[in-house]
Structure 1
Amino acid sequence: MPEGLDMQVQIICTDCAVQPDGSTNEYNELFQEITVSPSKWIIFYANKPLFYGAVAAVCVPVAGGTAWILFRRKKKALKK
């Protein structure tokens, strides 16, 4: 199976046991928007809530720290 994001995967499974009417059990299911990859980074990126949450968890403290430093510098400049 090739790797990729948002793929369609179809699983077809048939049973060799024959029913009294001559038919066999068959499972046929189509799954859409499936990510197929052995890479943990691709799986991490494909999980959008986790990916955006991780980006926000990095950006919010950096932005808050920068704002705090700028506010502190401005406050010191006004006191002089």
Structure 2
Amino acid sequence: MAEQPAGPILDGLGITLNLDDGDLVASAMVVAKVIREDGQATLLIEDSEGMTWLDQYGLIAAASDLIREPRFEREGDD
């Protein structure tokens, strides 16, 4: 398995960030469903430099809560 830059892959999937002028992305984590050559599905988790397992857990927990019970209307939701 070879490491590949995530940018072109995420761009190809149409993933964008809705940021205002002056916003700073402090860290990031990518959770991806990957289909292996043999057809097997697997989960891939990669994160930015310096992120700890606790940071990962916090991002996943917060995202899970927002997906289950949005506290605000997300752009594109009708």
Report the TM range for the smaller structure's normalisation.
under 0.3
Bigger relative CO (Cα 8 Å, ≥ 6 apart): 1
Which of the pair has more CA radius of gyration? Answer: 1
- Compare the two structures and name the one with the higher strand fraction: 1
- Compare the two structures and name the one with the higher helix fraction: 1
